[in-house]
Amino acid sequence: MTKRILLVTSSLFGENGQSSALAAAFKASLAGHDVELTERDVVAEALPHLSSAEMMSWMTDPAERSAEQQALAAISDEMLAEIDANDVIVLAVPLYNLGIPSQLKAWFDRILRAGKTFQYTEKGPVGLLEGKSGLILAARGGMYAGTEMDSQTPHIKHMLKLIGIADVEAIYAEGLNMGDARKQQSLQEAEQAVGHYVASHF
């Protein structure tokens, strides 16, 4: 059965970014596997920050939306359809100032929609997307994984869990700004981990 994969990249440096190198390694590892890959570069598409007008368009009945509201709602609706159509969500993420790129946050702001991907209940929010998994490909200049300084990984996992994606793994390439030898070793180890992940999941 064909697995459908959504690969979201978010490096400010495009194909020259270290997280993009991990994304490229992931794509190369898919050769020979029964998968269908969809790619979205949230930086290249210059996704704007979420505005009140766009949020209000979601809250307006589709039959009553103005032409402007229809266009604004379509931005998120397209992304929701894309998420719904794929089985595995892969996020290639650089670490900028201990957080995720603002462009990636703008993407998350459009897929975390109450009534669409999660709903509020008496016991708290419940995710509406079922049977999906996630993979984080994280590139960092320093060493953060497993420390309290890594606020990025929990943030991403919490956002994915909010919409029902709790099965999330992470592969790290760290110490990339700590000398060429460490950089090359870290990238090599991360690429090997990517290969093992693909071999065991697809």
Q: Determine the straight-line distance between the first and last CA of the chain, rounded to whole angstroms.
A: 10
What are φ and ψ of residue 40, in 5° steps? -140, 120
What are φ and ψ of residue 3, in 5° steps? -95, 135
Helices 67-85 and 52-59, axial angle in degrees (round to 10):
80
Task: Identify the bridge partners of residue 127 per DSSP, sorted by sequence position.
Answer: 118
| Number of Cα atoms under 13 Å in the Cβ half of residue 131 | 6
| Token reading at 201 | 């999941």
11 assigned binding-site residue: yes
Q: Report how far apart, in Å, the C-alpha atoms of 167 and of each of 108, 156, 160, 202 are.
A: 17, 12, 9, 15
Tally of residues, the chain: 202
Collapsing DSSP to helix, strand or coil, 47 comes out as coil
Residues of each annotated binding site for FMN: 11
Residues of each annotated binding site: 11
